[in-house]
Amino acid sequence: MELIKTVLLGIIQGLTEFLPVSSSGHLILAQTFLNARTPDMLVEVVLHLGTGIAVLYVFRKDIFSLITGMVSKDSIRRKNSFLYLWWIILATIPAAVVGIGFKNQIGVLFDTTRHDNLAAYLASTMLFVTAALLFFSSKCGVEKGEGENRGKLNLVKVIAIGLIQAVAIMPGISRSGSTIAVALLVGVSREEAGKFSFMMALPAIFGAALLDARHVSSIPPDMALNLFFGFIASLAVGIAALKLLLSFVKKGKFHYFAYYCIGAALVSLVCLTFFPGLTHRGGI
């Protein structure tokens, strides 16, 4: 049973980490309605590593090109590579500042033990925000190569994407959905929007894994097999989900995920408002 549970957690992690449906929002709703327990710290670390490596695999050519570009003898390529790296760092700063500086306040938004179900109401409402961003961006974004600078990143666009990633710390707002949507809204090409969203996610994914890993002293021998299969599940499903998302973005069908977000938000809000007994706390 523990093996099945860990594999299922890996599948959920791989899907919700990349698809624009808010992994944090789904975790809160699962805890509220199903009384699902938060995964053990060790399990979280392993599953985050799985999805992090999934990003490395899917964008391996871009990452290799970025690294080799920074040591290239071509000054223009070297300059562009360092500039792209700086943009990744710059876009990560707002989320890091908010996440560290307002850690306690943010924790309240994720507290599923409250009798007023604040976290679940907030997550459900913010799913509408995610859906709106996906809809508004549906007609935006340009194809790669339309004009010398059209569709490319610049300082203003990077700051806008970084700011929305900080906002996406709120439960119910998808990190991938919001960052790609804002990138499209400010005129970034579809291909670049998808790539930059996940390149800038790498520090957050591995950073979270490292922070959690500090609290893990050892791996119990009886958990090793479960953790291995959980890791494989999060890695394999993560690769598939990431490729699926990028395909939807490139084809201009990114907004299709908005319908799911709206449906999930409506169902949860109706249950919270009219059937509070369905929550694991049985209502107020």
Q: What is the block-wise mean pLDDT of the chain (284 residues), using blocks of 10 residues? A: 81 88 86 74 82 94 96 94 96 91 86 85 96 86 53 93 94 94 92 94 81 70 84 94 94 92 96 85 51
240-248 long-range contacts, CB within 8 A, separation 24+: 240/14, 241/14, 241/15, 241/17, 241/18, 241/19, 242/18, 242/54, 242/55, 242/58, 242/198, 243/58, 244/19, 245/18, 245/19, 245/20, 245/176, 245/194, 246/58, 246/194
Q: Treating both helix axes as pointing N-terminal to C-terminal, what angle do 41-58 and 190-199 enclose, rounded to 10 degrees?
A: 140
What is the pLDDT, as a whole number, of residue 64? Answer: 96
What is the pLDDT, as a whole number, of residue 193? Answer: 94
What is the pLDDT, as a whole number, of residue 284? Answer: 42
What is the pLDDT, as a whole number, of residue 182? Answer: 95
Residue 243 tokens, joined: 């490729």
pTM of the model: 0.89
What is the pLDDT, as a whole number, of residue 198? Answer: 94
What is the pLDDT, as a whole number, of residue 45? Answer: 82
Q: Where are the domains of the chain?
A: 2-278
